[in-house]
C-alpha cells in the first residue's frame, strides 16, 4: 500500500509547491513508457541525482522547461526506489518533449500529469444527462445483436492525442464511438470562451 514518508514545500518565485516522498508506488504510474525509461536508467547506469538537486536544477537552471511550465507545477511526488518523479502540472508540453534528455540528465523518470480541478460546466452537463435518462433507457440498446441475431463486434481503442493534459481516447464498439477522456490545448481556450459568450 502506498505510504507518504515526508511532505515539504519548495518556494519558487511567488509560489509554494508541495513535494511529497512516497513509497510503494501505485500501479497507475507503471506505464509502458516508465518501464522503457527504467530499463534505460539501469542498463546505461545513469546516476540518480539527489532529489533536492533535481528540484533546484529544474526550477533554477533547466532551460528545456519554459518558465510558464515551471510556474504551472502544483505538486511533485517522488518514489526513490522506483526512480519516478510525478509532476502534477497544468501545462507540461515542453517538459514532455524533453523527457528523454531529462531522464538522461537526472536518472529519474518523470510522469507528467494534470492536476484535479473543481466543478466544471462539463460535469454539470453530464449530471443533467444522467438525470434525463434512467438505467432502463439503455436496456433496448444491444451491441452484440442485430435484428435478434448474435453478431461479432469489433472493439477498438485509439488515441486522438497523447500528450500531457491533452489525452483524447476513442473507444469504438461496433459502430458506436465513445469519447473516454478529453483535454483541451491552450490554443483552443479562446474558441471555447467565444462559444460560451455567444
pLDDT in tens, 63-78: 999 999 999 999 999 9
Q: Would the pLDDT of 54 be above 80?
A: yes
Burial classification of residue 130, based on how many CB atoms lie within 10 Å of its CB (0-12 exposed, 13-18 middle, 19 or more buried): exposed
Same domain flag for 44 and 86:
yes
* pLDDT for the residue numbered 187: 61
- Does residue 150 lie in a domain region? yes
- Does residue 119 lie in a domain region? no
- Does residue 128 lie in a domain region? no
Same domain flag for 105 and 29:
yes
* pLDDT for the residue numbered 1: 86
For 147-190, the pLDDT digits (tens) are 666 666 777 776 665 555 556 667 777 767 777 666 555 566 56
Angle formed at CA 150 by CA 144 and CA 151, multiple of 5 degrees: 65
* pLDDT for the residue numbered 118: 47
Same domain flag for 86 and 151:
no
Domain residues for the domain of 78 are 3-113
Same domain flag for 20 and 64:
yes
How many structural domains comprise the chain? 2
Same domain flag for 186 and 92:
no
Calpha distance 177→179 (Å, rounded): 7
φ, ψ for residue 3, nearest 5 deg: -140, 135
Mean pLDDT of all residues belonging to the chain: 80
b/e burial code for range 81-91 (CB count within 10 A of at least 16 → b): ebbbbbbbbbb
Same domain flag for 82 and 15:
yes
Amino acid at each position: 500500500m502506498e505510504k507518504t514518508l515526508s511532505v515539504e514545500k519548495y518556494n519558487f518565485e511567488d509560489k509554494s509547491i508541495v513535494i511529497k516522498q512516497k513509497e510503494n508506488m501505485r500501479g497507475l504510474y507503471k506505464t509502458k513508457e516508465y518501464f522503457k525509461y527504467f530499463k534505460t536508467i539501469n542498463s546505461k547506469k545513469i546516476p540518480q541525482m539527489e532529489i533536492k538537486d533535481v528540484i533546484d536544477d529544474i526550477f533554477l537552471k533547466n532551460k528545456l522547461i519554459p518558465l510558464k511550465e515551471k510556474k504551472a507545477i502544483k505538486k511533485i511526488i517522488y518514489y526513490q526506489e522506483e526512480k519516478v518523479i510525478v509532476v502534477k502540472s497544468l501545462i507540461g508540453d515542453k517538459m514532455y518533449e524533453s523527457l528523454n534528455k531529462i531522464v538522461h540528465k537526472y536518472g529519474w523518470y518523470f510522469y507528467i500529469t494534470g492536476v484535479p480541478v473543481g466543478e466544471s460546466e462539463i460535469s454539470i452537463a453530464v449530471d443533467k444527462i444522467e438525470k434525463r435518462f434512467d438505467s432502463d433507457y439503455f436496456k433496448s440498446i444491444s451491441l452484440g445483436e442485430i435484428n435478434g441475431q448474435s453478431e461479432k463486434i469489433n472493439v477498438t481503442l485509439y488515441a486522438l492525442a497523447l500528450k500531457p493534459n491533452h489525452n483524447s481516447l476513442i473507444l469504438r464498439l461496433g459502430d458506436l464511438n465513445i469519447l473516454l477522456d478529453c483535454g483541451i490545448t491552450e490554443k483552443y481556450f479562446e474558441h471555447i470562451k467565444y462559444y460560451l459568450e455567444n
